[in-house]
Amino acid sequence: MTEEAFECKMCGHCCEGKGGIVMTEKDQKRLAEHLEISVEELIEKYTEHRGGKLHLITKEDNYCFFFKEGCDVHPGRPDVCRAWPYFRGNLIDEISWQMIQEDCAGVNPKAGHAEFVRQGKQYLRDEDLLRYDSDSSPNALISDD
């Protein structure tokens, strides 16, 4: 039986930290629709510009503004949240894949890196997460190859 390469354990670790959640235009539209507010209001209230890109803000505890018990905006969450842990670096580099296992309990070491890559690419394709725009996309996402 094929091992599942990843299954989220809802620990919230990946929702902690400043600056990780870059918002593309697609992300802004989807999250604004989910919150039933305008894109302008979303940008004003919940984002900040850093390094030329738009980021979701964090709370004082350093977690994403929308992290409560889990993701409070799950259906409207940005592509970078949808793509984790299948980030470019973790797909092309086995050492990165090994290292993220310390932080992300959802990554299954028993599946092996090759299977992680296979399932990850399939997932990214199915979820339409492979289109990479260097101006607005998070660097972590991979282009289709």
* Chain residues that interact with ligand SF4, rule: CB under 6 A: 8-15, 21, 56, 64, 66-67, 71, 73, 77, 81, 84, 104-106
- Report the residue number, 77 or 113, with the smaller CB distance to ligand SF4: 77
- Report the residue number, 84 or 116, with the smaller CB distance to ligand SF4: 84
Q: How many CB atoms lie within 10 A of CB 85?
A: 21
- Report the residue number, 8 or 35, with the smaller CB distance to ligand SF4: 8
Q: How far is the CB of 105 from ligand SF4 (least distance, A)?
A: 5
- Report the residue number, 56 or 124, with the smaller CB distance to ligand SF4: 56
- Residue in the structure block whose two tokens are 């090994």: 98
CA dist., res. 14 & res. 120, Å (int): 17
Q: How far is the CB of 133 from ligand SF4 (least distance, A)?
A: 19
CA dist., res. 44 & res. 86, Å (int): 30
Q: How far is the CB of 82 from ligand SF4 (least distance, A)?
A: 8
3-state secondary structure 65-118: CCECCCECCHHHCCHHHHHCCCCHHHHHCHHHHHHHCCCCCCECHHHCHHHHHH
